[in-house]
């Protein structure tokens, strides 16, 4: 079965589709490979290609498409607002083995939305309308959209849904927060349910899926066709397979501390040491630990300690202190008391 046949079958399958969320500077090809070792999702999304009037698609993101060894469907995501450039890049990306082209309408990073791209486009529904129309005409594979429910208010969602429906997109992923809410509020699942009711295409729910039980609850609340999981998968790479076990009524695998430590070693090994300075690699690992740490222990001490590591030996000594044991670690997030400015502060599930 080709990846296109796989994707079509997933869209029609009554079982929920599981999707790895696109996360910039995280979901590259080595990360896909690592997730696949733990069971992985049904569908992988690339990091977003930054589309501008000049320039070509980033080679390191193309690598995920060229060397995708997971055997699973891959969706190429774009971000931008210049219609001729979006059309040009979409047609170029279709040359690779992609099952769909996705437009990012949800990125909440200020550096993105201030340029009226990603989530910033939600302030201009008519511009969204024009972009979707041009891409729908240009794209010959599936055309999908990932969105938030509004920029600073979900009031615009009522205007956006008919625009999405008008252009017959093939799948809509909804992150149930506004752009301004970033990741710091509860997820408004009722708006995802509204999208399910309004759209004829499959709708994927995104936001705060961190356990098999929570995944099942989100599906029940929203009626969505499937789930897109991002930060929860960084913390718990077993999550996709755990959900499948839950659906089949099988015992759910719970990793031990040493299983988690092996996963951390896998994260380190994604970047060959000869390609990066040791200190830079330690800093890169701290990004992953920001998400993993909130599922390790309730005090926040692991995060405090690991953020101060400067060498590989020091980093792994700290990790071993918290993970070198055979006790089960469900990796569900603790409600840590973190500063409001912390990268995983607020509603950080």
Of the candidates 248, 273, 300, which is a domain's last residue? 248
pTM check: above 0.75: yes
Q: Are residues 244 and 299 in the same domain?
A: no
Of the candidates 215, 248, 281, which is a domain's last residue? 248
Q: What is the mean pLDDT of residues 75-86?
A: 97
pLDDT in tens, 302-341: 999 999 999 999 999 999 999 999 999 999 999 876 666 6
Structure tokens at 276: 């990066």
Phi and psi at 144, nearest 5°, equal -130, 165
pLDDT in tens, 145-154: 999 999 999 9
d(CA 39, CA 229): 14
Please report which residue ranges of 103-188 form alpha helices under DSSP H. Answer: 110-113, 125-138, 157-166
Short-list 117, 175, 186, 123, CA closest to 149: 175
pLDDT in tens, 91-116: 999 999 999 999 999 999 999 999 99
Q: Are residues 241 and 259 in the same domain?
A: no
Q: Are residues 213 and 82 in the same domain?
A: yes
Enumerate the β-bridge partners of residue 19.
43, 228
Q: Are residues 290 and 347 in the same domain?
A: yes
Q: Are residues 167 and 310 in the same domain?
A: no
d(CA 40, CA 154): 32
Fill in the DSSP letter of residue 203: E
Q: Are residues 286 and 314 in the same domain?
A: yes
Q: Are residues 294 and 316 in the same domain?
A: yes
| Residue 38 belongs to domain with CATH number | 3.20.20.70
8 Å CB contact between 341 and 303:
no
pLDDT of 346: 38
The boundaries of the domain holding residue 164 are: 3-248
d(CA 87, CA 79): 12
Q: Are residues 136 and 267 in the same domain?
A: no
The residues that are catalytic are: 107
Q: How confident is the model at residue 271 (pLDDT cuts 50, 70, 90)?
A: confident
User: H or E element: which one contains 214?
Assistant: helix 212-222
Q: Are residues 240 and 304 in the same domain?
A: no
Structure tokens at 153: 């208010």
Q: Are residues 239 and 274 in the same domain?
A: no
pLDDT of 349: 37
Of the candidates 232, 248, 264, which is a domain's last residue? 248
Q: Are residues 209 and 292 in the same domain?
A: no
Q: Are residues 235 and 277 in the same domain?
A: no
Q: Where are the beta strands (DSSP E) in the chain?
A: 17-20, 43-50, 74-79, 100-105, 142-148, 171-175, 203-206, 226-229
d(CA 266, CA 40): 14
pLDDT of 58: 96
């Amino acid at each position: 079965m080709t990846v296109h046949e796989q994707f079509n079958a997933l869209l029609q399958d009554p079982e929920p589709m599981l999707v790895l969320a696109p996360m910039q500077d995280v979901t590259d090809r080595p990360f896909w490979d690592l997730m696949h070792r733990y069971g992985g999702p049904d569908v992988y999304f690339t990091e977003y290609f930054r589309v501008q009037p000049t320039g070509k698609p980033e080679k390191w993101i193309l690598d995920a498409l060229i060397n995708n060894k997971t055997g699973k469907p891959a969706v190429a995501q774009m971000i931008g607002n210049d219609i001729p450039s979006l059309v040009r890049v979409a047609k170029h990306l279709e040359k690779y083995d992609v099952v769909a082209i996705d437009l990012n309408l949800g990125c909440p990073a200020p550096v993105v939305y201030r340029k009226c791209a990603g989530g910033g486009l939600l302030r201009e529904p008519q511009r969204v309308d024009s972009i979707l129309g041009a891409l729908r005409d240009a794209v010959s594979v599936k055309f999908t959209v990932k969105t938030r429910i509004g920029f600073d208010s979900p009031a615009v969602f009522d205007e956006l849904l008919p625009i999405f429906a008008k252009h017959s997109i093939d799948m809509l992923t909804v992150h149930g927060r506004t752009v301004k809410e970033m990741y710091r509020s509860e997820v408004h699942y009722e708006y995802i349910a509204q999208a399910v009711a309004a759209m004829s295409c499959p709708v994927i729910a995104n936001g705060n899926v961190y356990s098999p039980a929570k995944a099942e609850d989100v599906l029940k609340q929203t009626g969505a066709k499937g789930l897109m999981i991002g930060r929860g998968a960084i913390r718990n790479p077993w999550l996709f397979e755990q959900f499948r076990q839950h659906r089949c009524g099988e015992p759910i695998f719970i990793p031990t501390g040493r299983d988690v430590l092996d996963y951390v070693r896998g994260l380190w090994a994604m970047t060959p040491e000869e390609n990066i300075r040791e200190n830079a690699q330690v800093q890169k690992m701290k990004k992953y630990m920001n998400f993993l740490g909130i599922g390790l222990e309730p005090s926040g001490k692991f995060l405090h300690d690991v953020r101060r590591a400067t060498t590989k030996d020091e980093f792994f000594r700290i990790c071993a202190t918290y993970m070198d044991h055979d006790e089960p670690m469900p990796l569900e997030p603790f409600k840590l008391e973190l500063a409001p400015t912390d990268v995983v502060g607020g509603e950080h599930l």
